[in-house]
């Protein structure tokens, strides 16, 4: 259940019997022909679908992340790493102070992942939804080159209805290790890191369902640290 659909009194009643809450993390950034909010849409939706059967509340997605390499792409604002670590630490600490002792972070952006070890504390669990062995194996069976802004992020809710997608397969982009935004854009071109631009919905939705199931299992099992 999304907290936007609740008031504080309902959450206080929830805390009488449970102490779990989900914090989705995303990033507003270029995703080639897909929505600039792709990471936000995926993180919040997968968290909501996984938590709904358990009645666990889901916070609004934190819609800005660490993405300095995309600075040359309009609409891709970035937060400094130290700022981001402090922000997450404050948010988690505040939630735990209110009684949400177990906080599951569902992250949708690779640039945020560095913070997982920086904010470790009792009751906190971090999950990069696309990075598990199961999800990666499913992607590799279809297209090992699948990566950022490729078909593996192309779902009905991340694509734009009026934007046609290129056909075919993009070769894996080289020189992605550069930290210069202009050089990075020169290397990445349209923003996709490689792979097919789209695959049939039946394929990508199988991956989505597996991702939802993994988050659901984490919530259902509970955790202590």
105 phi, psi to nearest 5 deg: -95, 120
pLDDT, one tens digit per residue, over 59-78 is 999 999 999 999 999 999 99
- The residue ranges of DSSP E strands in 108-188, in sequence order, are 124-128, 169-170
**In whole angstroms, what is the distance from residue 117 CA to residue 7 CA?**
32
**In whole angstroms, what is the distance from residue 153 CA to residue 139 CA?**
11
Mean pLDDT, rounded, for 180-197: 95
Number of neighbouring beta carbons within 10 Å of residue 130 = 22
Indicate the average pLDDT of the chain.
Answer: 96
pLDDT, one tens digit per residue, over 84-95 is 999 999 999 999
Pairing of strands 169-170, 195-196: antiparallel
pLDDT, one tens digit per residue, over 101-120 is 999 999 999 999 999 999 99
Mean pLDDT, rounded, for 154-170: 95
Domain annotation for the chain: domains and CATH numbers: 3-221 (3.40.50.10310)
With bands split at pLDDT 50, 70 and 90, how would you rate the model's confidence at 174? confident
Residue indicated by tokens 């290790």: 177
Given a cut of 80, is residue 225 above it in pLDDT? no
pLDDT at 110: 95
pLDDT, one tens digit per residue, over 12-38 is 999 999 999 999 999 999 999 999 999
**In whole angstroms, what is the distance from residue 188 CA to residue 3 CA?**
37
pLDDT at 176: 80
């Amino acid at each position: 259940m999304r907290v936007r659909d609740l008031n504080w009194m309902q959450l206080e009643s929830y805390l009488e019997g449970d102490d779990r809450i989900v914090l989705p993390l995303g990033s507003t950034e270029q995703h080639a022909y897909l929505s600039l909010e792709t990471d936000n849409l995926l993180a919040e939706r997968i968290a909501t679908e996984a938590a709904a059967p358990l009645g666990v509340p889901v916070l609004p997605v934190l819609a800005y992340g660490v993405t300095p390499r995309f600075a040359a792409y309009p609409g891709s604002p970035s937060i400094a790493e130290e700022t981001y670590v402090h922000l997450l630490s404050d948010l988690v600490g505040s939630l735990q102070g209110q009684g949400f002792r177990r906080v599951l972070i569902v992250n949708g952006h690779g640039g945020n992942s560095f913070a997982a070890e920086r904010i470790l504390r009792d009751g906190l669990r971090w999950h990069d939804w696309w990075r598990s062995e199961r999800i990666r194996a499913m992607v590799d069976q279809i297209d090992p080159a699948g990566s950022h802004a490729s078909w593996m992020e192309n779902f009905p809710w991340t694509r734009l209805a009026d934007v046609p997608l290129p056909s075919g397969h993009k070769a894996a982009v080289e020189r992605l290790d550069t930290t210069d935004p202009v050089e990075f854009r020169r290397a990445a071109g349209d923003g996709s890191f490689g792979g097919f631009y789209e695959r049939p919905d039946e394929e990508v939705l199988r991956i989505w369902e597996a991702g939802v199931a993994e988050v659901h299992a984490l919530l259902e099992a509970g955790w202590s640290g």
